[in-house]
Amino acid sequence: MNALLAPWTGAFGLPPFAAIRDEDFAPAFDAALTDTRANIAAIADNPEPPTFANTIEAMELAEALLDRVSGLFYNLAGADANDTREALMRDLAPKMSAFSSEITNNKTLSGRIETLWQSRQSLDLTLEQARVLDLYRQMFVRSGALLQGEAADRLTAVKARLAVLGTQFSQNLLAEERSWFMPLSEADLEGLPDFVVTAARAAGAEKDQPGPVVTLSRSLIVPFLQFSPRRALRQKAYEAWVARGANGNAHDNRAIAAEILSLREERAKLLGYHSFADFKLEPEMAKTPEAVRSLLMRVWEPARAKALSDAAVLEAMLQADGIPGPLEPWDWRYYSEKRRLAEHDLDEAALKPYLSLDAMLAAQFDCANRLFGLEFRAIDGPFYHPDVRGWDVTRDGAHVAVFLGDYFARGSKRSGAWCSAMRSQRKLGGDQRPIVVNVCNFAKGDPALLSYDDARTLFHEFGHALHQMLSNVTYGFISGTSVARDFVELPSQLYEHWLEVPQVLEKHARHWQTGEAMPADLLQRLLAAGTYDQGFATVEFVASALVDLAFHEGPAPADPMQKQAEVLESIGMPRAIRMRHATPHFAHVFSGDGYSSGYYSYMWSEVMDADAFAAFEEAGDPFDPETAKRLETFILSAGGAQPPEALYTQFRGRMPGVEPLLKGRGLLEPA
């Protein structure tokens, strides 16, 4: 019996990880697709007039087996890839795209949905049902259900090719990150804090090298750039980091990016839109490219001014070291770290012993308990990798979710950090509780010690996890993080604020050896430096978002790298700062459609998260029960049950302006 197809009868309905073999996945997908096709055909060919129950609710349950198999596989493919899984991903990309088009091109099925939508006023639907019907109809129309003949066929082909290219882009990037490393001699370790040395030795062991190495994992390369006094090594590592996907080899992503942009433009034109950005932004909060550009430029100008001012200080430090300059991108983090130590007496090496992974996990769980009454009990595996940890999440004794944490960098894992669900919450067809996964790429250690930025990432991804775990909707289509792209980052970025609450760090930031609390003066300096180097951070982000927007709001550029250079020149990009994600490794934008024309959404959500946390501040308590209840009711549990503007307004009473964001990043001029 294929373990993927048999009922999952273990604790909490977890996948039987130990019984699953890679060769099970291809036949499981075939069986699941066959099952779904039969279910969809039964809905489309139903001789009864369409009703919400026999059409929309039936579609909600039609893909149950496919959801189960794909939910597991795509989690594994991102977090623990191997040759077999990567080959299957390549095979599945066009197959799954064709399957999706097959459903949305089914004129009988789309006709039933259109009939329901046209008569929606007479259907006596709940608010949630009306929203689900709207979104199903929108999905079909935006997928080309109204197209006929050659146009419909061409759109199907375009989407299939885009799926192939997105998979290829991702796998090229993983191959680049997996293959590159820079050996370090014992002399090269000079000036590096113990935690960087430990991480480099662990990375060397993982790469089967005799000594320490620097890899392209952010959790290793960033601290190396911060602390290594060897400028030539910093340059070598930095240039390898920013050259991912642009090395002229079999894994070069530049031509792929160009083809993706061309096909996206064609897709939008087939559907009647002026540009891909117009198409993509239509269902988002921003609605138009003009609204996105307005926000980004409102933030860009003060951020650029701050970055240029900071660059002058750092360049003076460089020259004081006897280097004539100019300040280069591989110098910024090194001299910024020195400046932070000088101005704030803040040394990351002194901070990290108080920020062990276990301590920060306890902190994020404690905050969730105080805010929402959730409790976390560790459970045993086996899970999909020995590094994975699991927790049973309960409230008032009732099971809420299973939470899995996969925190350490390894060669089989794509870079970055993310949250996903192996199973999403829904009530239709039985109370289905979610299995939620947080994946990070922290340096492994004994114990694992985090930077403050790592700890922020941990809280960020757990904010997404709460959005999934606290979801309380009937329909899986709108469950958890199934919301507008520029709303989905609100819960994650909002949760980061609790890491900055002094009482949280006072309780949990304890030395991993002695158990002593972080000294009060160190804690005060840490919080006082909260907006340090925000010019740099904001510039590298906004530059990436502006390039993403420029790629998609007009004709597709024949040469994306030239277009990238033109955009950066037009906005006056400081020479010592690069985009956070250059085009050949901009996975957010090119590994799929998720953040295409949508990288701005982190900042759009930040406008809301700054204002949302202010609600707790106005209540006089970061754990104010009434405010937390409103947050859960209108944001975390509601999923996509209403438009995001309606949900936020119910929580806060109004929509926010951009000023709290600028203030939070230290970019407002003092009054």
Q: Indicate which residues carry an active-site annotation.
A: 461
In whole angstroms, what is the distance from residue 421 CA to residue 403 CA?
9
| Contact call for residues 446 and 194 (beta carbons, < 8 A) | no
Record the tokens describing residue 603, joined without a space: 């900042």
The SS3 assignment for 554 reads coil
Angle at 289 between CA 286 and CA 293, to 5 degrees: 90
User: 572: Cβ–Cβ under 8 A, 6 or more apart, which residues?
Assistant: 304
Give me the half-sphere count of Cα atoms (radius 13 Å) on the Cβ side of residue 517. Answer: 12
By C-alpha distance, which of 618, 625, 626, 611 is closest to 663? 611
In whole angstroms, what is the distance from residue 117 CA to residue 534 CA?
47
| Contact call for residues 62 and 36 (beta carbons, < 8 A) | yes
Tokens 């590994």 identify what position? Answer: 591
What number of other Cβ atoms are within 10 A of residue 305's Cβ? 14
The SS3 assignment for 440 reads strand
The SS3 assignment for 285 reads coil
Determine how β-strand 435-442 pairs with β-strand 398-408: parallel
Q: Which amino acid is at 272?
A: G
User: 43: Cβ–Cβ under 8 A, 6 or more apart, which residues?
Assistant: 54, 55, 58, 59, 62, 109, 112
Helices vs strands, H then E, count in the chain: 27, 7
In whole angstroms, what is the distance from residue 596 CA to residue 578 CA?
20
The SS3 assignment for 397 reads coil
Sign of the dihedral through C-alpha 186, 189, 193, 195: negative
In whole angstroms, what is the distance from residue 402 CA to residue 125 CA?
32
**DSSP E strand stretches across 173-300:** 181-183, 213-215
In whole angstroms, what is the distance from residue 643 CA to residue 631 CA?
15
| Contact call for residues 189 and 155 (beta carbons, < 8 A) | no
Q: How far is CA 534 from the centre of its chain?
A: 20
